[in-house]
Every structure is written in C-alpha cells, then in structure tokens.
Structure 1
Amino acid sequence: MRELTDQLVRDHCLSKEELLYVLDHMDEDSRAYLTAQAHETRVRYCGKGVYLRGLIEFTNYCKRDCLYCGIRASNQNACRYRLSADEIMAVCRKGYDLGYRTFVLQGGEDVFFTDERMEEIITRIKAGFPLCAVTLSLGEKPFASYEKYFQAGADRYLLRHETASPALYRRLHPPGMRLEHRIQCLKNLKKIGYQVGAGFMVGLPGQTNADFVEDLYFLQELQPHMIGIGPFIPHKDTPLAGEKAGTVEATLVLLSLIRLLLPEVLLPATTALGTIDPTGREKGLKAGANVVMPNLSPGEVREKYALYDGKICTGEEAAECLHCIQSRIARAGFLADMSRGDHPSWERK
C-alpha cells in the first residue's frame, strides 16, 4: 500500500485498478501514511495558508427535486427566503470590513433570480469591492447565462457533479436531470474562463469504492481549479431521511487522494465535515484541504438554508464565525489567509 501511495505522490496518478485496490485495502496504518503524504504535498505546493471565503446563502428556493437535498422543491416544510440585492450588498460590506476578499453566492436554482437580476448583483459587488473575487454556486444554467455572469465580473463557479456514476446519478435525481448535462455545464464554465469547482458526496446510499474511482478519474480528466467533497448527511424531510450518513474516515481518505492527484487544487474542508465531527474541518485541513468557507449569511436565515440536518454555525454572527474558525485553523497548525486565493494556473481572460 505504501508503494502505491509513494507512486501517487511521485506521479500524481494511478490506474483505476490501483486506486480501487487502495480504497478496498485502506486500514489505519495506510490511512495515517496517506494523510501524512497528502499534508506534505499540500504544504509543498500550497504552503500552510488556509483561504477563507465568505459564504452568502442568498436563496433557498429551488426548482429541482433532488432526493438528498433539504431545500428540494417538494419539501413543504422548508421555510423559504430570498435576500434582496441590497441585503446581499450589506452582507458583502460586513464581510469586507472583516477582511474577506472572496464572496461565495450560493443558492438553489431559483427562477426569481433571472440573468438580469444576477448581472445586477454581480456588477454591484464588483463595483463596490473591486479587489474581491465573486464565486457563484447556482446550479445548472445555459451557456449564455454563465457567459453573462462572467462578463458581469464573476470569477468562479462551483457546480458539484455529485457522482460520476450514471446509474447512481439517475437514482438520486428527478427525471430530466442528466449527468451528461451537468458535465457539459462544467465544460462550458471552463471554456468561458471561470475558475471551476466540481465535487461529489461521500457515503450516498448504494455508493461503492468503484464509484469513487470514477469520481477521481473524472476529476483528473476535468482538471477543475476547486473540488468540494463532503459526507452525505440525510435530511429529515427527504426520501433519504432514514439512510446512514457518510463517514469522516472515508471523506478524509478521498480528500487526501484528491490532494495527491491534483496537488495545486483548491480543496475545502466543508461545513458538512464539521457537522458530523466536532473537529472534522481541522481533520480535513490535516488531510490536504486548504480552504474554509465561514458563513456570512444573516443569522435569521442560516437555519433555513438546510441542505441536511444538524448544520453547524447557524446561530453565530459573521464576526463570531470568523473568529471561531481562525482560532481553529491556528490550533490545527495552519495560517488563516483572507486574500482572494486564486488557483495558481488561473488568469482572467
């Protein structure tokens, strides 16, 4: 097992058969060695800084009905909300004053936020805070919409592919959603010039190590600038409410493998990881992650953006959330970095 890990450190690739062997034979010693090598690779390529992005969850309306998601369209128990453009700007001002230089606008696929409304919001943010990066996470859109957002000033786009297994993707999504279309969206975003983020969930019902191998190979082919993975956590008001959650251990192994496969990638230690383990995000940082996204959303809406049950940091104010995560990063042996933190290979076209 160590030989395969060393080969991964050296060559940044393994065959599918070798990756599957690693996942199938992962024991405690192998996991510790993999984590140590991922940490060393992260420090060598990215340093010890942890980029902090200010997350703004601006709408929990969504037209999709994905089986795993708490804000799915058919969830009648969801308490819906939308932030206005002025409210979003006020959150950005608060975040900027705290030192943030990246704002992540995340929401469901909300038809209220037309291209024109999104262009206005992006333009206002870039005009008010020209030194800041704007990241969008709004789901699947036509090529023309992505292009308009980019021209308005958006720099990055996060769109998890969720799983690279066509069969698993079909089981988890309603008719009309196709893995091929999501992958085409990711390719469109790269073509336009965004810093692109993909990613997948860990521990989905029916998911296998062979599925993870397909995820890893897809990511190597796509070469995204960012990769977001996190454990599946069931939500009480979804069809998957009774399913088991993903594990910290499996998520950390996959974080480490991603760091070794794509050594320069921007890799978050997610809120979901911190939800299933009180020190989950710190463990993620030690396993190769180098990004954290504290929540800037107004306190009164944080609990309403419930993709899964038990989400942390719903009762904190933005300053409290920042102070908390900065202290945790320092205790884990890393340095909080409030700069834009662009991927080293990216330059805006």
Structure 2
Amino acid sequence: MDILLVKETLTRDELSFLISLEGVERDYFLKSVGNKYIETLGKKVYFRGLVEFSNYCTKDCYYCGIRKSNNHSERYDIDDQAIIEAAIFAHENKYGSLVLQSGERSDTTFTSRITNLLKAIKEATNGELGITISLGEQSEEVYREWFEAGAHRYLLRIESSNKELYYKIHPEDEKHNFETRINCLKTLQKIGYQTGTGVMIGLPFQSYEQLADDLLFFKDMNIDMVGMGPFIEHTETPLYAHKDILWPLQRRFDVSLNMIAALRLLMPDINIAAATALQAIDPMGREKALRFGANVIMPNITPTLHRKDYTLYENKPCTDEGAEDCSNCLSIRVEMAGREIGYSEWGDSKHYVKRHGKSN
C-alpha cells in the first residue's frame, strides 16, 4: 500500500485495487491521501455557486430524470434577470465563481441566449466572477463564442469512458455519440477552456477495472477538473429496470470516495468537486470527499422554487433551502472537514495553470 501512495504513475491493476478497497486498508488509504494532498494544494476549498437554470433537454440518456422522454418531469426555464441576480448573489457573497448548468440544447435561440447571459454576468460583477458552464455538446463556433463572452471553464461529463458501457446508458444514435463527446472535450481544450469531465460510479454492468480505465482516461486526456459521484437510480428512467443488480448505496458511496482519492494520487494538481450526490447517500458525504481529495464544492443558488425540479436523480439534497441557507451550511461543512474557503478566488486548476501559464 505505502508503495502505491508515493508512485508517480499507477497502472490499471493498481488503480482497480485502490478503488475496491474495504475496511482497515481503505481507512488507511483515504487518510493517507487526505494528509498527502494538502501538501500539494493546501487546505483551500473553492466555492462554485450552482445555477441549474433549465431542465428542458433534447437528450434521452437512460439514467437521467430530466431526459426528453420523461413526461412526468415538471419543466422550467428561469428568466435571465433571475440568473443575473443569482450571479450577483454569488459575487457579493465572495464565492469567486458561478456554474451555469441546464439540460442539453444546441438551437440558436438557446446558444445566443447564453452568449448574452455571459456578457451580462460579467458586466454585473465587474468581470470579477469566474464562470464555469456545463451545457453539453455544441459546435466549435459556439464554444468559441461562449469563451469570448466570458466563460473560462467547461464541464462535459463522459459518464463512462468505456464505449460499450456508454451505449448501455445512452441510446446509440446521432444525439448520443461516444466519439462526438470525446471530440467536444478536445475542442474545448483547443479553444483554451479549463476542461472538466466525469463519470458515474456504481452503474449497472460496471466493473472496478472500467472505473480504473475512467481514471486513466482523465489522465490521458490531460483533464483539468473532474466531477464524479455515485450513480443514484431514478424511477422514471429505463436504467431503473436494472436496479436489482446495483451495488448497495453504501458501496457506491464508498467506491466514490476511493475514486476521488485514487484520482488525487494519479493527478495531484487538478480540481476535483465534492458531488452533491454523495450527500444524498451520506449526510456528511461532501465533507468526507473534501477530506480525501476533493477541493471544490458547489452551493446550489438556483431559486428555491425550481430547485426541486432539476431531478437528475432522486432524493437530491438541499432542494428546499434558500441560497443563503445553503451557503451557511456549506461554510460550516468545509470547516468540519478541516479545510478553509478561498473566498473571492476563482480557484483555477493548478494543472491548467502549469500547462497554460496563466491564472486569476
């Protein structure tokens, strides 16, 4: 074990071993990584104020509660002024950064709206608020337009880097193409975004070896930031039919923390988010992630009226809290994890900074 904790590179078999750890060995591994990573990144944790502004989606992913074919989803689209006000709230509360997230759309009405929103947010916050966007697959032209309008980080989750598994959790058609997803990630990197991706952990049909390959995929792609967490089934999705072969929720949670710690060993200087889905299983889920490798946390500042309708999975936490409640709660949680908040800092990925030589 101690040899793996100091190795500069880890093999698929070594990663599979770390991901599958249980009991005393697992405790030792997690604590060791927790102590080691603050030597590289320090104790700072960066806030990203999350605005899930629309749950309209053109995709039909088999795992997602806001998939196009879910007729029971209460659809909403928050108006621009409310989004700008949320950005101002984030800026005034010294978050440093904002995340704009929605269902996937690529029509001109949507893409033009985002361009105008990005410019308006930059103006309203004196250019001081960092902006991450997570808005799916787009053309290179659109990605460039959004980058020039003020977005500088982009999260596009692959969900599984294994092509066979990818098509077990997505339809195999023009709208859901594995190669397109990867090409979009490469395009984002070429344009200059801090580029993030991520996977679900504990999917039906998934193995430890495939999860190890996911980590190596992040490394091979030279990714700057990762958001990954446990798969939580949703009753209104096709994947729910396979609920009986899922790992127990606690195992999905434990393996998710193992994945975070293993990735921190593999890529010591990237940003890793403490996913909200962890808290859906364990009330202290996000704090544990911060202790064992994560350094980004995303307070949900979506207006409370609509927060409950962005149901990618069921039993999502914090859907009835206001933005201030969520912020106060997370501040306490960060302190409980033995970390400190980098107020008013963008918290750029050190991995990205090393490659590009620039930061805020």
Contact 2:65/2:73 (8 A) holds in 1: yes
* 2:149 corresponds to which of 149, 152, 156: 152
Q: Residue in 2 aligned with 1:343?
A: 349
Distance 1:97 1:131 in 2: 11
Matched residue, 2:16 = 20
Secondary structure (helix, strand or coil) at the match of 1:196 reads: strand
CA contact (8 A) 1:162 1:200 kept: yes
RMSD over aligned CA atoms reads 1.6
Which deviates further from its counterpart, 131-140 or 30-39? Answer: 30-39
User: Are positions 1:260 and 2:260 aligned together?
Assistant: no
Are 2:87 and 1:92 aligned? yes
Partner in structure 2 of residue 330 of structure 1: 335
Question: Could you tell me which of 28, 42, 62 is aligned with 1:33?
Answer: 28
The alignment status of 1:278 with 2:283, answered yes or no, reads: yes
Give the one of 306, 312, 315 matched to 1:310: 315
- Residue matched to 1:221: 220
Aligned to 1:125: 121
Indicate the SS of the match to 2:51.
strand
One-letter amino acid of the structure 1 residue matched with residue 208 of structure 2: N
Measured after TM superposition, the shift of residue 88 of structure 1 is 0.8
CA distance in 1, matches of 2:61, 2:17: 31
Counterpart for residue 2 of structure 2: 2
Q: Offset of 1:289 from its aligned partner?
A: 0.7
Aligned amino acid, residue 222 of structure 2: Q
Name the % identity. Answer: 39
The answer as to whether partners of 1:41 and 1:259 remain within 8 angstroms in 2 is no
Contact 1:61 1:80 survives alignment (8 Å): yes
Separation in 2, partners of 1:311, 1:109 = 20
1:71 maps to 2:78: no
Residue of structure 2 equivalent to 1:320? 325
> Cα offset for 1:111?
4.6
Q: 1:51, 1:337 within 8 Å by CA — same for their partners in 2? A: yes
* Contact 2:225-2:270 at 8 Å conserved across structures: yes
Partner of 1:292: 297
Is 272-281 or 106-115 further displaced after alignment?
106-115
Q: Is the 8 A contact 1:41 1:263 kept in 2?
A: no
> What stretches of structure 2 of length at least 5 have no aligned partner?
none
Alpha-carbon deviation of 1:41? Answer: 2.7
Gaps of at least 5 residues in structure 1 are none
Aligned equivalents of 1:192, 1:111: Cα separation in 2: 18
**Which whole-Å CA distance do the structure 2 matches of 1:299 and 1:19 have between them?**
40
For 1:60 and 1:239, how far apart are their aligned partners in 2?
Answer: 18
Write the deviation string for residues 57-111 of structure 1: whole angstroms up to 9, x where unpaired: 0110000000000000000000001112112111112222222220100001135
After TM superposition, list the pairs within 5 Å mapping 1:43-192 onto structure 2.
Answer: 43-111=38-106, 113-129=109-125, 130-176=127-173, 177-192=176-191
Alignment of 1:192-211 (within 5 A): 192-211=191-210
Query: How many residues matched?
Result: 344
CA-to-aligned-CA distance 1:93-148 (integer Å, 9 cap, x gap)? 22222222201000011356532111100111111111111110001111111111
Moved over 6 A (4+): none
Offset of residue 348 of structure 1: 6.7
Query: Hey, what's the Cα distance between the residues in 1 that align with 2:114 and 2:320?
Result: 28
> Residues 214-253 of structure 1: CA distance to partner in whole angstroms, max 9, x if unpaired?
1011111112111111000011211123513562110010
Cα distance in 1 for partners of 2:280, 2:327 equals 17
Q: Deviations over 1:41-63 (max 9, x none)?
A: 32011111111110000110000
Aligned letter for 2:141? A
Give distance in 1, aligned partners of 2:147 and 2:336. Answer: 37
The DSSP-based 3-state class of the residue aligned with 1:211 is helix
